[in-house]
Amino acid sequence: MSSSNRATPAKQSAGAFDVRNVIAALIGFYGVVLVLLGLFSDTAADRERTGDVNANLWAGLAMLVFAAAFVLWVRLRPIVVEAPPDRQDPEDDGSGTSLTKGH
C-alpha cells in the first residue's frame, strides 16, 4: 500500500456567517421587543381585541424560544466548511507535521 502525501484541507466552522445565527438574532430581537411591549404597553383595549390575552407577551416569548432553539441547533450541529488555502494554519507545511519545535 502506498500512502498519499496530499494535504487535507483545513476545516473551520461557518461561525457568524451561518444563516441560522442571523435568523436567531433577528427573531430574538423582535421577541425581546414584543416581550417589552407586552409587559409595559398592555392596555385594556389591546386585551379586548385579543380576547383578554396579552398577545404581544405570548408571541414575544414564543419568538424567544424559537431563537433559543436556533442557537442550540447552531451549537450542537455547526456547519463545517473547508478553509481557503490562504487561510490555513501558517505553521502547517501540508506534510502533516508541524513546523514548531518540540512537536
Higher pLDDT, 99 or 56: 56
Measured distance between the N- and C-terminal CA atoms of the chain, rounded to whole angstroms: 27
The cell for 11 is 476545516
Q: Which of 29, 17, 16 is nearest to 67 (CA)?
A: 29
**Whether the predicted model's global pTM rises above the 0.75 cut:** no
For residue range 29-59, list pLDDT tens digits in order. Answer: 999 999 999 999 988 898 899 999 999 999 9
Residue 25: what residue type?
A
pLDDT of residue 46: 86
